[in-house]
Structure 1
């Protein structure tokens, strides 16, 4: 499925909903979506519930976005990962890094 996304402003963050496959062909578009969202909000939630495939380039874009957010006092985290996408995030150790904030710990990891 071709990659696409939507950015939905919420009261406390932007929800960046990804659809399709996050791979090398979608990397420039994904990087731009993350960068733009981080420029507009203090927190970005990346919703992966409609992503069927995620490779190392998609992971790289999200980790790079996370590091950029952290350096600028912002937050970036993922939600909705399931199936193969969830497995890849856990296998690479990125699931914990990009986990949503908990009420007790805020956006710290």
Structure 2
């Protein structure tokens, strides 16, 4: 079992949540809490999944929950640096499109 970690870096107007390990059922509550905390603190949240090795439906649910929370606050939530199986899950679920940052945001992320 790969351990899960979430680390948040906050800057004026934006936060980046760096996830690592497996985003699965054992990590669900910690992942959701980290994402919702970032959403409550910043208007734009970038979720960096470069170090995520596995993303299942509970990880997808956490991303969707945070996305809706951000929208409810008038904010945005984006996922970046997805590769391999994580990118495949995001593509399969349509989250790759929904959570893709606009070009101008990607340049400054």
- Per the alignment, residue 22 of structure 1 pairs with 23
- Per the alignment, residue 64 of structure 1 pairs with 65
- Per the alignment, residue 76 of structure 1 pairs with 77
Runs of 4+ in 1 over 4 A off after TM superposition: none
Deviating more after overlay: 8-17 vs 23-32:
8-17
1:15-66 C-alpha deviation (Å, 9 max, x unpaired): 1000100001100001110111111111110000000000010001101110
- Per the alignment, residue 103 of structure 2 pairs with 102
Q: Which is richer in helix?
A: 2
- Per the alignment, residue 94 of structure 2 pairs with 93
- Per the alignment, residue 40 of structure 1 pairs with 41
> How many aligned positions are there?
104
Question: Partners of 2:25 and 2:77 in 1: how far apart?
Answer: 21
- Per the alignment, residue 31 of structure 1 pairs with 32
Question: Partners of 2:104 and 2:38 in 1: how far apart?
Answer: 23
Structure 2 segments unaligned to the other structure (5+ residues): none
Question: Partners of 2:95 and 2:85 in 1: how far apart?
Answer: 14
Deviating more after overlay: 5-14 vs 52-61:
5-14
- Per the alignment, residue 11 of structure 2 pairs with 10
Structure 1 segments unaligned to the other structure (5+ residues): 105-109
CA RMSD of superposed structures (Å): 1.3
Question: Partners of 1:80 and 1:43 in 2: how far apart?
Answer: 16
SS at match of 2:33: helix
